[in-house]
Amino acid sequence: MTETNPAGFEIRDYLRLDLMPHFMCPGCGHGIALRALLWAVHELGIEKDELAIVSGIGCSGRVGGYIDANTYHVTHGRPLAFATGLKLARPDLKVIVITGDGDCLAIGGNHLIHACRRNLDLTCLMLNNEVYGMTGGQVSPTTAETRLTTTTPAGNTEPAFDACQLAEAAGAGLVGREVTMQTPALRNLIKQGLEYPGFSFLEVISDCTEIYGRKNDLGESAEMVLSQKSDMRPEAYGNVADQPFRPNRLLTGVLARNERPEYGETYRRHADGVANGGKAGA
């Protein structure tokens, strides 16, 4: 079997087939991200009853509902807040947050900062397609400059937000980024995030083919995926000092590790100390 069609992994085993056909547009990168996530779950041997998926509003938010596990579809921008409560109440569960660039960085931006700060054992997948795809194609915090959206008809003038830099600065335990074109590499990155004993933030560069792609004349879905060129990977550049013409290259893979105590374990240790007559923090 090939790397992209591995032996023993059948994606239908992890999906709610009664919800098919899915709502995603042809060529949507979110479907590729879903496959990579379930592939990682399969290879790590995570049982469905031990898996909890929390998602918010938007195209990314709908993705979680197709997974045959414990799934929660919550209010806009709040999946990390809900996931925090769930993980503290049920530390035995593997909790994954699926969110989008608007859901996570706009209305949900403060929740992301504090999830990184706490370092609770959660894995956050931010599917970044640079636009509010479900609600009409409005500009998002990650929309590239000059791009057309329904709310920037003359082109976006704001700089795009680098979510990975924010997550690293806020203290996230593990920070990474990958493109959907590199599906095996994306699976491997998700596995690292799931195995990390703390908060892992993973940005997945996805494509909105129907809303964003059409408006910006980016070609058909296959062309958009292929535009995520393999030479954007850091190892393709060699010495950065020798590549002055590529100052804004997109780094992928694990971008940062910050070895810190996991918040849930620290919280429970403090709570036990108080319950036994001690002081918080003792």
How far apart are alpha carbons 122 and 236 in whole angstroms?
A: 31
The residues spanned by each domain of the chain are 11-234+245-275
Phi, psi (degrees; rounded to nearest 5) at 205: -75, 110
Judged against a pLDDT cut of 80, whether residue 102 lies above it is answered with: yes
Judged against a pLDDT cut of 50, whether residue 201 lies above it is answered with: yes
| Digit-coded pLDDT (tens) for 68-96 | 999 999 999 899 999 999 999 999 999 99
| Digit-coded pLDDT (tens) for 18-53 | 989 998 888 899 999 999 999 999 999 999 999 999
Q: Quick one: pLDDT band at residue 142, thresholds 50, 70, 90?
A: very high
- From the number of C-beta atoms within 10 Å of its C-beta (0-12, 13-18, 19+), residue 153 rates as exposed
Strand extents, DSSP E, the chain: 51-55, 70-73, 94-100, 123-128, 131-132, 138-139, 174-179, 200-205, 253-257
Judged against a pLDDT cut of 50, whether residue 164 lies above it is answered with: yes
221 close to 26: Cβ distance less than 8 angstroms: yes
How far apart are alpha carbons 18 and 219 in whole angstroms?
A: 32
pLDDT (0 to 100) of residue 135 = 87
pTM: 0.89
CATH domain 11-234+245-275 topology: Rossmann fold (3.40.50)
105 close to 163: Cβ distance less than 8 angstroms: yes
pLDDT (0 to 100) of residue 79 = 97
Burial annotation 215-248 (CB, 10 A radius, 16+ → b, else e): bbebeebeebbeebeeebbeeeeeeeeeeeeeee
**If you average pLDDT over every residue of the chain, what do you get?**
88
